[in-house]
Amino acid sequence: PQIIVSNADYERLTDLATASLERLPEVANELLSEMDRAKVVQDGSVPDNVVRMGSTVTFKSDDGNTRTFKLVYPAEESLDEHRISVMTPVGAALIGLAEGQSISWTARDGRRHELTVEQVKN
């Protein structure tokens, strides 16, 4: 699906992914791929229903479970506090998606999954 990111998120996420290529090559490459296909808009112009950094997003997984996480940078990650890093496979998949959109993503174990964004709070 088409994804939308702000100019600031695009710059910071591209830098983060590039810096992580040696340490986390699979996720870094996935995030770079997402940034390559993103529609980049001016800061403040991302629609309210689109996942951006700092969004709280509720999504349904292909296993039938519904989960809610805040999308954060790696240093802020805390699964106990429902904060997921953009440098995880599911975090990289979520960035830029709008409510109602679905995406397939590859887990660290190599299995393919699909998720659908149900709600975004910014």
The per-residue pLDDT for range 12-60, each reduced to its tens digit, is 999 999 999 999 999 999 999 999 999 999 999 999 999 999 999 999 9
| Domain of residue 64, residue span | 4-121
Alpha carbon distance 10, 18 (integer Å): 12
Whichever domain contains 54, its CATH number is 3.10.50.30
Domain count, the chain: 1
Q: Please answer whether residues 88 and 112 qualify as being in contact, where contact means their C-beta atoms are separated by less than 8 angstroms.
A: no
Report pTM.
0.94
Instruction: Give buried/exposed letters for 47-62 (b at 16+ CB in 10 A, else e).
Output: eebbbbbebebebeee
pLDDT tens track for 74-86: 999 999 999 999 9
